[in-house]
Structure 1
Amino acid sequence: MSERPLVFYTTLGCSLCEKAKPEIWPLLEKFGLFLQPVDIADDEELTRLFGWSIPVVGLGEVEDVLCWPFTSSELESWLQARLP
Structure 2
Amino acid sequence: MNQGDCKLRLYVSEECELCDRAVAVLAAARAPDFECVCIEDDTELSARYGVRVPVLHDVSRDRDLGWPFDVGDVLRFLSA
**Percentage of pairs with the same residue:** 27
Instruction: Tell me: CA distance 1:47–1:35, structure 2 relative to 1, closer, same or farther (3 Å).
Output: same
**Partner residue of 1:59?**
58
SS at match of 1:16: helix
Give the Cα separation in 2 of the matches to 1:11 and 1:17: 7
Look up the match of 1:75. 74
Mapped partners of 1:22, 1:40: distance in 2: 19
| 2-structure distance, mates of 1:28, 1:71 | 12
Per residue, is there more helix in 1 or in 2?
Answer: 1
Equivalence for 1:11: 13
Superimposed CA distance per residue, residues 17-36 of structure 1 (whole angstroms, 9 cap, x where no aligned partner): 0111221013345xxx2120
Q: How many residues align?
A: 77
The 4+ residue runs of structure 1 with deviation greater than 6 A are none
Q: Normalising by the residue count of structure 1, what TM-score does the alignment of the two structures yield?
A: 0.78
In 2, Cα distance between equivalents of 1:51 and 1:9: 9
Q: Is the 8 A contact 1:8 1:36 kept in 2?
A: yes
Over aligned residues, Cα RMSD in angstroms? Answer: 2.2
In the other structure, the counterpart of 2:33 is 34
One-letter amino acid of the structure 2 residue matched with residue 26 of structure 1: A
Cα distance in 1, alignment partners of residues 62 and 6 from structure 2: 18
